[in-house]
Copies of this chain bind each other. A is one copy, B any other.
Amino acid sequence: MENTEHTALTGKAEEILEVAERHMRAGGFDAVSFRDIATEVGIKSASVHYHFPQKADLGAAVVQRYTARVIAAVGAPDNSDDSTKERISRLIGVYRSAMIDDGLICLCCVLGAETLDLPDPVAEAVSSFFALVLKWTETALSAPPAAGETTTAAQIISSLQGAMVLSLATKNPQHFSDTANGILKAID
């Protein structure tokens, strides 16, 4: 059986998606080119087109792969073994380690900010990502429901996404920590 870690590269298609994601998270959809990807992967740009005919296909695949990885990383939102606070801490941890380990912010934050210029299939994939993450967070907040819970899923996701942008742009990770602490403080 192959390595099932998220760093596993079982084929060229997977390598392409990994390289494309890194560039998209750094500079947006237009920051990736077929030639750059091909060079990094060690093939030619025509071969990248074989796996993903149009750039929109590549973009949508990158987002879908990213979505599955994030959802897997945050785990079950309704496991009664952990408290609401533990679940939200896990969500925060996923984003924190992404920033620290890769030095990159959320893919769908970068792409979501340029939604108006995205090919439809990519914009739809980004929208689906947020719908899933919002649903996860709603469930995490409500099972079991905390006593005087007033924080909403939208508030938590908004805070985390914005905090990544703020920390990246000002080169100050403290803003992320500060925001994360505020989220946890408001729970329970």
Contacts and interface: CB of A to CB of B under 8 A. Distances in A.
Interface of A: 26-28, 30-31, 103-105, 108-118, 123, 126-127, 130-131, 134, 150-152, 154-155, 157-163, 165-166, 168-171, 174-175, 178-179, 182, 185-186
How would you classify the secondary structure of chain A's contact residues: helix, strand, loop or mixed?
helix
8 contacts: A27-B117, A105-B113, A116-B168, A150-B185, A157-B166, A158-B159, A158-B179, A160-B162
B26 A114 contact: yes
Contacts of A127: 169-171
A64 to B, nearest CB: 15
A90 B136 CA distance: 32
A151 B182 contact: yes
Contact of A169 (B31, B115, B174): B115
Interface-centre pick from A112, A150, A174 (highest chain B CB count, 10 A): A112
A115 B123 CA distance: 21
A165 B112 contact: yes
A171 B124 CA distance: 10
Nearest to A162: B162
A154 B167 CA distance: 9
A117 B175 CA distance: 21
Contacts of A117: 26-28, 31
A117 B30 CA distance: 11
Given A155-B178, A155-B182, A158-B179, A170 B130 contact: yes
B114 A28 contact: yes
A60 B123 CA distance: 28
Contacts of A116: 26-27, 103-104, 168
